[in-house]
Structures are given as C-alpha cells and as structure tokens.
Amino acid sequence: MPKIAENLTRVRQEIAAQAQSAGRDPGSITLLAVSKTKPPEALCQAYDAGQRDFGENYLQEALEKIAALKRLPIQWHFIGALQSNKTRAVAEHFHWVHTVDRVKLGERLSAQRPAGLPPLNLCLQVNIDREDSKAGCEPEQAQALARALAALPNLRLRGLMAIPAARGGTGAFARLARLMQSINDQEGLDMDTLSMGMSDDLAEAIGAGATIVRVGTAIFGARSANV
C-alpha cells in the first residue's frame, strides 16, 4: 500500500490546481478520504500522510475502524445509507453525517447525540437528478427540510450533499450550489458546506463550489465489486 501517500499528494495537487483555475482558495476545500472496505492499516497510512477526515459507508465496518483507531484524532464522516436503526451509533461515534434526507432522522440524531459532545455536523442529501434509485430529498423539499433540521438542538446543519447521476454534464453541481444559496437567502441560514464531487468528477465539482470532495478510489485504489 505504499502508494497511498503518493496518491494523496496527487489528489491534493489536483484539488489545488482546480481551485486555482476556479479562482478559489484551496484551503476552502476539505478532502474527505472515503475508506469503505479498506483496512485500518490503509487509513493509518493516509493519516501518516496528513489526512484527518475519513468517510465511511457501512456502519458495522466503520465502528470497528473507529475503535481500532481510537488513539488518532480523526474526524469521522458517515456517508452511507442512513436508516432509523443506525442513528444512535452515528450520533455517538461520528463528527459528521452527510446522508440525512428526512426530518425524522434528524430528530433521532439530535435526541441521541450524547451530552458533552459538540453538535453533530449534518448535510442534507438532495436527489439532485431525481433518480428513482437514489436516496436524498427532492430538490423542492430541501428548503422546508433545511428549516426543520436547522431548528434541532445538538445538530449543526452545515449544508447540502449530492451524488449526481452517473452520466454527468447536466450541471448538477451548479444546481446544488444555487439551491444552497437560495435556501440560505430565504431562510436566513448560514450553511457553508457543499459535499459533492468524487474521484472522477472533482474538477467540475470544485468549479461549482464544492467545499468537501469525497474521494475513495483515487486515494486507496479500486474496491472489489460493487461497493
């Protein structure tokens, strides 16, 4: 796995280059290393190369890694499918969750966030291309959901997250950015996070204003089958 450090360097350089060509401060973009299916040793290598934010999709697997790497000051982001039966563990063990698309999930996370921990950072997932197969709220619902989520204690609504349709070119990233701006303006909110862009579409996402890019393959290499 010695390539992880090199891969990270390359991804950071690409982020910096894309930020520069978009006239943005590279420091305004957080690289989230998506480590699903990868062993703790791979995460350690990335950590040793300076990586601090890690994204996990599968709760049980994530909890094992969080326990194994307890000694490291890592920021853990939950980016997998979220159902009610997972909210307690997410509230107890993560710093961020990107995949909230219903008020009920927010209410549970808020109620289950342990006293003494800072608020859980949250992104509202939007089904920006209206795909039948995809999680996320409809774009029209986002404003009302953001209003409700922002009012919950123990959570901090940070912004919007999307996974655009595989065949891009539809301006999905720019639409998500405009949606956040419009919700901020109309609701008086201060969302500051656009979680969008993965290994294959970093450039477009950064051009459209991504503040968190979620990158797995380009850092850790390919995953086996379908995950």
Ligand X SMILES: *Cc1c(COP(=O)(O)O)cnc(C)c1O
Give me the residues that bind ligand X (CB under 6 A), please: 34, 36, 57, 79, 163, 198-200, 214-218
**How many angstroms separate the CA atoms of 170 and 179, rounded?**
15
Tell me how far, at minimum, the Cβ of 200 lies from ligand X, in Å: 6
Nearer to ligand X, 70 or 167 (CB): 167
Can you tell me whether residue 67 is helix, strand or coil?
Answer: helix
- CA nearest neighbour of 61 among 34, 29, 22, 98: 34
Nearer to ligand X, 136 or 207 (CB): 136
Tell me how far, at minimum, the Cβ of 16 lies from ligand X, in Å: 18
Tell me how far, at minimum, the Cβ of 216 lies from ligand X, in Å: 3
Query: At which residue do the structure tokens 């301006």 appear?
Result: 171
- CA nearest neighbour of 112 among 155, 53, 162, 176: 155
**Residue 105 structure tokens:** 């999930």
Tell me how far, at minimum, the Cβ of 46 lies from ligand X, in Å: 13
Nearer to ligand X, 150 or 202 (CB): 202
Residue 116 identity (one-letter amino acid) = G
User: Is the Cβ–Cβ distance between 37 and 223 less than 8 Å?
Assistant: yes
Q: Give the CA count within 13 Å in the CB-facing half-sphere of 152.
A: 25
**Residue 76 structure tokens:** 């853990």
Nearer to ligand X, 56 or 191 (CB): 56
Tell me how far, at minimum, the Cβ of 205 lies from ligand X, in Å: 11
Tell me how far, at minimum, the Cβ of 215 lies from ligand X, in Å: 5
The phi and psi torsions of 163 (rounded to 5 degrees) equal: -120, 100
Nearer to ligand X, 52 or 147 (CB): 52
Nearer to ligand X, 182 or 217 (CB): 217
Name the pairing type of β-strands 193-195 and 155-161: parallel
How many beta carbons lie within 10 A of that of residue 120, not counting itself? Answer: 26
Query: At which residue do the structure tokens 């930020």 appear?
Result: 19
Residue nearest to ligand X (CB): 216
